[in-house]
Chain A
Amino acid sequence: MSELSVIKHSLVTPHRPQVDEADRRLLAAIQHGLPLVPRPYAEIAAWTGLSEEEVIARLTRLKDNGVIRRFGVVVRHHELGYSANAMVVWDVPDEQVTELGRCLAGFDFITLCYRRPRRLPQWRYNLYCMIHGKSRDEALAQLEWMVNHCGLQSLPHEVLFSRRRFKQRGAVYSNHEDR
C-alpha cells in the first residue's frame, strides 16, 4: 500500500462537535455524492443557499472535527477482487487488548479493528479485526503472518469467512462496522 497506516487509537467516548442547521443541510445535500463538475462546491452552494466559500469553509471544519471521516472514492471491494472477507475474532485478556489491538491495526491488510464486549457463555471473543484478501488462502496467510509477528500463537481465535452479503448500502456513515 502506498501509505503507511496512520495508527491512532481512541476509547469510544461520546464526543459531539457542534453541527448547526446549515451544516446538516450541507451534509444531506452531498450524502449521496459530490457533483461531478469542475466547481462542485459552487453547485452545492446553489442547492443549499450558501456561498461557495462558505461551503468550503464548513466542509473543512466538519472534516477537521471528524464529522466527515473521509472524503473521496468509496470502493466496492468485492468488485475490486477482494472477495475473501474474514472476520477474525480473538479472546484476549482484558489488560492486553489495547496493546494487541494496536499491533493488529498496524498491518495494511487489516481494514477494521475493534474491541467489543464478550457475550458469555455463548461468545468469548473481545477483539475483532477484518481482513480483506483476494482469496481465502491469501487471507489465511496474512493471518498467520500477523499471529507470528504479534506473538498471538497462544490466543484463542476463530476466522469467520463471509459466505454471502445480503445488503451493502453505499454506506454514508463510516466506520463501516463490517465492510
Chain B
Amino acid sequence: MDATDRDIVNNLQGGFPLCERPYAEAAAKLGLNEDELIRRVEALLENGTLTRFGPMYHAERLGGALTLAAMKIPPQDFERVAQIVNGFPEVAHNYEREHDFNMWFVLATETPQRISEIIGAIEQATGYTVYNMPKLEEFFVGLRFEV
C-alpha cells in the first residue's frame, strides 16, 4: 500500500459522492483521475485491504435487528461451542476474548422478534446461557481507521 492508497482508505470511509460520475468527483479531491481511482479501489479489494466498497446500512431502520451477545464457555468446551455458534447464519461475527465471558458475537436478524428466537436456539444447541447485551444508548464516533 503506497501513499496514494493510504489517502484513498483514509478519505473514502464515508461520503462517497452521489452524482453521475462519482469516481471522477472523488478522484479530483484526491488529486487522481477517475480511472486511476477505480483501478486502485479494485486492487485494494483484490488484496483484501478492503472488504467492500459500497454502502453500510442501518439495520434497525430497515426493520431488522442487531444485538451483541456473550457467552461464558469453559475452555475445554470452547471449540465445540464455537463451531455450533458460527454455524448460525445470523451470527455476523464472533470473537474469542480474554475473560470468563469469552465468546462475544453479533446477531443480525430480519426482525427484532428473531433475536430472541435465535438466542433460544443457540442456548438449546450449546447447553449454555446466552447473555443478550443490546445497545441501549449509542454515542457516535467518527468511524475512521487511519493508515
Contacts and interface: CB of A to CB of B under 8 A. Distances in A.
Interface of A: 1-12, 14-17, 19, 27, 30-34, 36-42, 52, 56, 59-60, 63, 65-77, 79-82, 85, 87, 97-98, 101-102, 104-105, 108, 110-117, 119, 122-123, 128, 132, 158, 160-179
6 contacts: A2-B10, A5-B141, A38-B23, A52-B20, A69-B55, A75-B51
A119 B14 CA distance: 35
- Interface footprint category on B: 35 or more
Q: Interface on chain B toward A: helix, strand, loop, or mixed SS?
A: mixed
Given A17-B61, A30-B55, 8 more contacts: A31-B54, A42-B20, A68-B58, A113-B139, A113-B140, A168-B51, A173-B64, A178-B68
B97 A166 contact: no
A145 B14 CA distance: 28
Contact of B139 (A19, A63, A101): A101
A89 to B, nearest CB: 9
Interface string B106-145: 1010000000000000000000000101111111111111
Q: Interface on chain A toward B: helix, strand, loop, or mixed SS?
A: mixed
Contact of B49 (A15, A36, A67, A76): A76
Contacts of A2: 10-11, 144, 146
